[in-house]
């Protein structure tokens, strides 16, 4: 028998973070999900299971089931072909709580691993969130207060008075996890035996088989349709897996402005600020993007493309290439690209550095 206090602790894991971590289908707000009850899931097509922030539970009013963190985790894992006993579920959830621990994650205990061309990907955890917070990027709704970022999970562990102070006086930032999911960008964790990595897994080129693939996850995992950018949390190394290309973070965003950036964190900076973006993921992909603009994309009269590449020789060079392309394209086409360069103050190397400076003042 597990002590009630331990069960309660496991249930204190934010159920919304679990939903996101398991890539569970939600509505745009993340407040409603597809029913995780295996008896209802297969006939449930619209996310209607409602989140209750007071109890940290989801409730389905159609099959009348209520899900706490342990219950959701077990049901969702079962549907995803990865059944957990009650004890295993409690142990997994407790592992996720230890945000302040300095011990490297034991990769065997992490949930949901995908073997991807030599890299194992795991659910994003405290380290990745912290890495992103330092870059002014919040995956989940957060408050910035006295130089620290507080997610719901951290807040829920504090006294009512402390929580109230932070909620009232802190600056609120809306989390972008739901936008990333929509755009099929997944933040994950990996460990290569030496270092911990934050991984950006990008899936592209999907078709109607999508839903089928999600349900029969492991059997249909098609690695050719995704790539992974892995960056060590100490900022020292970067590894790419699969064919790296540019990707859009435009779904769920207003499309009147699109910002082209060199790296994912620059693009996520725009996501944080409610702007659509494209991450080149390498300046070399500027050619691939120009091909796309030439052959596949039709410019819109009410849309402007902003060039927001790095403040260095390679960035300026790629910016010039894009400008030359637009000039040439506009000479030969009736529908014209409208474009402008974002002038990042010289002391910042890229838009993310500029944003971090602003974010840290909040
Ligand atoms: Zn249900």
Model pLDDT for residues 156-171, shown as the tens digit of each residue:
889 999 999 999 999 9
Question: How far does the centroid of ligand 1 lie from the alpha carbon of residue 71, in Å?
Answer: 13
pLDDT digits 0-9 by tens, 48-95: 999 998 999 999 999 999 999 999 999 998 888 778 889 888 888 887
Q: Specify whether the CB–CB gap between 156 and 12 falls below 8 A.
A: yes
Quote the mean pLDDT of the chain. Answer: 85
Q: Is the pLDDT of residue 182 over 50?
A: yes
Question: How far does the centroid of ligand 1 lie from the alpha carbon of residue 342, in Å?
Answer: 48
Question: How far does the centroid of ligand 1 lie from the alpha carbon of residue 64, in Å?
Answer: 6
Question: How far does the centroid of ligand 1 lie from the alpha carbon of residue 316, in Å?
Answer: 53
List where CATH 3.40.1360.10 sits in the chain: 245-359
Q: Which CATH number fits domain 4-97: 3.30.70, 1.10.10, 2.40.30, 3.90.580?
A: 3.90.580
pLDDT of 23: 82
Question: How far does the centroid of ligand 1 lie from the alpha carbon of residue 40, in Å?
Answer: 5
Question: How far does the centroid of ligand 1 lie from the alpha carbon of residue 47, in Å?
Answer: 10
Architecture of 245-359 per CATH? 3-Layer(aba) Sandwich (3.40)
pLDDT of 209: 44
Higher pLDDT, 126 or 149: 149
pTM for this one? 0.66
Question: How far does the centroid of ligand 1 lie from the alpha carbon of residue 48, in Å?
Answer: 8
Question: How far does the centroid of ligand 1 lie from the alpha carbon of residue 77, in Å?
Answer: 16
Alpha helix (H) residue ranges in the chain: 4-11, 15-21, 38-41, 69-79, 86-97, 126-133, 152-156, 160-169, 177-182, 210-215, 217-220, 264-272, 286-295, 313-332, 351-359
Question: How far does the centroid of ligand 1 lie from the alpha carbon of residue 348, in Å?
Answer: 50
- DSSP string for 114-165: EEETTEEEEE--HHHHHHHHTTT--SS-EEEETTEEEEHHHHHTS-HHHHHH
Question: How far does the centroid of ligand 1 lie from the alpha carbon of residue 43, in Å?
Answer: 9
pLDDT digits 0-9 by tens, 244-301: 899 999 999 999 999 999 999 999 999 999 999 999 999 999 999 999 999 888 898 8
pLDDT digits 0-9 by tens, 92-139: 888 776 543 323 333 333 343 444 556 777 778 788 999 999 999 999
List where CATH 3.90.580 sits in the chain: 4-97
Residue 285 DSSP one-character state: G
């Amino acid at each position: 028998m597990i002590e009630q206090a331990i069960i309660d602790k496991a249930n204190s894991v934010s159920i919304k973070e679990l939903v996101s971590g398991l890539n569970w289908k939600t509505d745009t707000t993340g407040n409603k999900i597809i029913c995780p009850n295996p008896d209802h899931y297969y006939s449930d097509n619209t996310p209607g299971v409602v989140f209750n922030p007071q109890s940290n539970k989801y409730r389905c009013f159609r099959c009348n089931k209520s899900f706490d963190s342990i219950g959701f985790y077990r049901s969702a894992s079962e549907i995803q072909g990865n059944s957990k006993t009650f004890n295993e579920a409690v142990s997994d959830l407790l592992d996720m709580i230890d945000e302040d621990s300095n011990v490297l994650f034991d990769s065997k205990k992490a949930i949901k691993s995908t073997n991807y061309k030599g890299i194992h990907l795991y659910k994003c955890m405290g380290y990745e969130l912290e890495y992103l917070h330092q870059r002014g990027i919040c995956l989940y709704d957060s408050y910035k207060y006295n130089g620290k970022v507080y997610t719901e999970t951290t807040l829920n562990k504090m006294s009512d008075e402390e929580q109230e102070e932070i909620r009232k006086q802190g600056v609120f930032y809306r989390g972008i996890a739901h936008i990333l999911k929509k755009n099929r960008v997944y933040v994950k964790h990996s460990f290569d035996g030496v270092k911990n990595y934050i991984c950006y897994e990008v899936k592209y080129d999907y078709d109607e088989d999508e839903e089928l693939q999600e349900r029969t996850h492991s059997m249909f995992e098609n690695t050719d349709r995704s790539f992974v950018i892995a960056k060590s949390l100490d900022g020292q190394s970067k590894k790419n897996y699969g064919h790296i290309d540019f990707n859009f973070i435009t779904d769920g965003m207003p499309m009147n402005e699109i910002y082209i950036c060199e790296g994912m964190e620059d693009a996520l900076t725009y996501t944080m600020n409610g702007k659509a973006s494209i991450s080149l993921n390498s300046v070399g992909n500027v050619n691939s993007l120009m091909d796309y603009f030439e052959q596949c994309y039709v410019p819109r009269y009410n849309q402007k493309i902003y060039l927001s590449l790095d403040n260095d020789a390679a960035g300026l060079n790629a910016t010039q290439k894009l400008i030359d392309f637009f000039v040439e394209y506009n000479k030969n086409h009736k529908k014209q690209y409208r474009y402008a360069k974002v002038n990042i103050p010289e002391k910042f190397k890229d838009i993310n550095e500029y944003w971090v400076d602003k974010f840290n003042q909040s």
